[in-house]
Amino acid sequence: MGSAHRVGGKVITFGENVNTDVIIPGRYLVSIDPAELAEHAFEPLGAETQARLRASDVVVAGRNFGCGSAREQAATCLLGAGIKAVVAASFSRVFFRNAINTGLVAVESPAAAEAAADGGEMWVDYDAGTVETSGQTFPFSPYPQVLREIMADGGLIPHLMASFAGGNQ
Amino acid sequence: MTAKTFAQKAIERASGVADLVPGRIVDAFPDLYMSHTASWRCIRTLEKMGVERLYDVDRVAMVMDHLSPAMNAKTAADHALCREFAKKMGVRNFFDVNSGIAHIVLMEHGLVRPGRFIIGTDSHSTIYGALGAFGTGVGFSEITAAWVTGKLWVKVPESVRIVVDGDLAPGVYAKDVMLKLIGDLGADGLTYESAEFSGSYVEGMSVSERMTFCNLAMEMGAKNAFVAPDDTTLAYLGEAGVPRDELDILLPDEGAAYRATVRLDGPALAPQIAVPHTVDNVVGVGEVAGTKLDQVFIGSCANAKYDDLVIAADVLAGHRVAPGLRLIVTPASAKIMAQASDSGVLTKLIQAGAMITNPGCGACAGNGGAMADGEVTLSTANRNFQGRMGSYDSKIFLSSPATAAASAIRGVITDPREIVSTAVVA
């Protein structure tokens, strides 16, 4: 039995500077549905990559993943495709925020990204602050408190609604 | 007191928390929440939340810029939803499809002021630093949350000083400076950091050129960008109807701590080009001169302001666009388009063979000006990502308006200095 904070599975790897137009092309931003967005995730990279994405659980990438647009759908479409976590050497600022705010686990770990094998397995425990892959365990700094609370509720909007229910607003 | 950067001061002001150091996370209360085409998603999210009362409706600004005018029933319905919402909630700062690109429109209407903390559903919200504000991009969930709670979490960034000294050579522009910096520092060179621009070239820049700088700082990953407000800023704000006694100018302290200082020598710079498919893949124009083009696009929040159109028109004066090449010019705002119409700049562009489209994001957002398989565009926009303008099998190069105009004449990428001798370059 894994903890609720432990997510992972099959890995799909990408290179550096993967931008938001590649993750979800601008022409599909008229949609609001994660499943529909997922159909077009990584479309510029071709049907084979898209099929592999939908069969994967963890996106692993190099530096500056999600650079470019502030479009939140770049995180939503990955969730729609069944991705549970993104582990990268580094993230663009807006993508990282959008990941947290949509409840997509995003972890910066250059060592884990380097060690990951395409098609292999990776497990992230964002409470313990560990990434396990290729028989190794890589620690990372746990999220600050405010981010942990947002993640625990499944994203920013559910977090706000939970806080309203708790009488905080 | 410890000396502080602009970013420290701006976040202290917006959060009410004193003595902030980089890395600290606080709740900040933005002065303005800009939402563009993503507005309809914010509204749907608000409906889902069942919230009807906004924190401060006067801090909401909505601009219909990315899909203007609507291209189908779906986008028309999205616009209609935004219009109805603005009316119902009393959003005074609602700008419809005839207005132009959000960033430019907000600045023209006096909504961007020194020291203000502004969030927007567009990564290029860093542009607000052109008027000494703290501007940064966020997702639509964060705008929705700000509508309701008035706040968002912010990490205090480290700052980097970028000093550009000396005048640029004829034919070289602010865009070339930024392409050079992006190429040198990389697409993630300033990730999570505040970029403070200074130096003799920066002090002499127009507000439009400062916009080009702060806009493109995002392409190095910057969280925000900043040019210190001065007489140039005050003159622009005066025209935008902002009373001087309402200004709260924040300046970095002497001796503030910077992670690094980057210097660039203005006079030594040549025109630059970003090569597909990343913005930091930058070379001197000579390295790709002669590359055949199918289309030239002069538009976007980076380079479709009035002075950009004047530069292009002056290069094109007395010339015609090369046979078979499409030149699309999309003024950044209605105000700029009217000014270009009054002054005859639009006529000059049209006479040279340009096609003028309505103000807005246009081809940069993938609407109009799409490319077929194998085609190549030279664009004055801020991104050259694969598939951004039509086919995934097309290419986008980025340049200044002068290089774009010179290249439109020859039909191949051209060093504008080769045309300068026959044109008056501003």
CATH number assigned to the domain comprising residue A67: 3.20.19.10
Q: For residue A165, what pLDDT is reported? A: 84
Nearest chain A residue to B383, by CA: A68
Q: Is B49 at the interface with chain A, CB within 8 A?
A: yes
Asked if residue A65 is part of any domain, the answer here is yes
Cβ of A70 and B144 within 8 Å?
no
pLDDT for the residue numbered B426: 45
User: CA of A118, closest CA in chain B: separation in Å?
Assistant: 23
* Cβ partners under 8 Å of residue B104, min gap 6: B211, B301, B305, B332, B333, B336
Q: Which residues of B54-90 are buried (b: 16+ CB within 10 A; e: fewer)?
A: bbeeebbbbbbbbbbeeeeeebeebbebbbebbeebe
Set of chain B residues whose Cβ sits within 8 Å of the Cβ of A25: 366, 387-388
Number of independent structural domains in chain A: 1
Q: By CA distance, what is A161's nearest residue in B? A: B49
Domain limits for position A162:
6-167
Could you tell me which chain B residue has the CA closest to the CA of A32? B41
The torsion defined by the Cα of A55, A58, A59 and A63, in degrees rounded to 10, comes to: -160
Closest residue by Cα to residue A122 from A154, A87, A151: A87
Classify residue A1: in a domain, yes or no: no
CA distance to partner chain A, nearest, from residue B138 (Å): 6
What is the per-residue pLDDT across A83-130, written as a single tens digit (0 to 9) for each?
A: 999 999 999 999 999 999 999 999 999 999 999 999 999 999 988 899
Q: Check CB contact under 8 Å for B138 and A97.
A: yes
Give the residue ranges of the annotated binding site of B for [4Fe-4S] cluster: 301, 361, 364
Cα separation, B239 vs B412, whole angstroms:
39
Is A143 contained in some domain? yes
Which residues in B lie closer than 8 A to residue A70 (C-beta atoms)? 120-123, 125, 137-139
A17 with B278: Cβ contact below 8 A: yes
How does the average pLDDT of chain A come out, rounded?
94
Whole-number pLDDT of residue B229: 98
Strand order in the sheet with B272-274: B282-284, B272-274, B395-398, B376-379, B295-298, B326-329, B355-356
The verdict on residue A39 lying in a domain is: yes
Contact call for A19 and B385, based on CB within 8 A: yes
Is A38 a member of any domain? yes
Portion 188-217 of B in contact with A at CB < 8 A? 188, 191-192
Among chain A residues, CA nearest to B278: A17
Task: Give me the tens of pLDDT residue by residue for chain B, a chain 426 residues long.
Answer: 699 999 999 999 999 999 999 999 999 999 999 999 899 999 999 999 999 999 999 999 999 999 999 999 999 999 999 999 999 999 999 999 999 999 999 999 999 999 999 999 999 999 999 999 999 999 999 999 999 999 999 999 999 999 999 999 999 999 999 999 999 999 999 999 999 999 999 999 999 999 999 999 999 999 999 999 999 999 999 999 999 999 999 999 999 999 999 999 999 999 999 999 999 999 999 999 999 999 999 999 999 999 999 999 999 999 999 999 999 999 999 999 999 999 999 999 999 999 999 999 999 998 899 999 999 999 999 999 999 999 999 999 999 999 999 999 999 999 999 986 544 444
- Other residues' Cβ atoms within 10 Å of the Cβ of residue B224: 31
Q: Which of B74, B383, B387 sits opposite A30 (nearest CB)?
A: B74
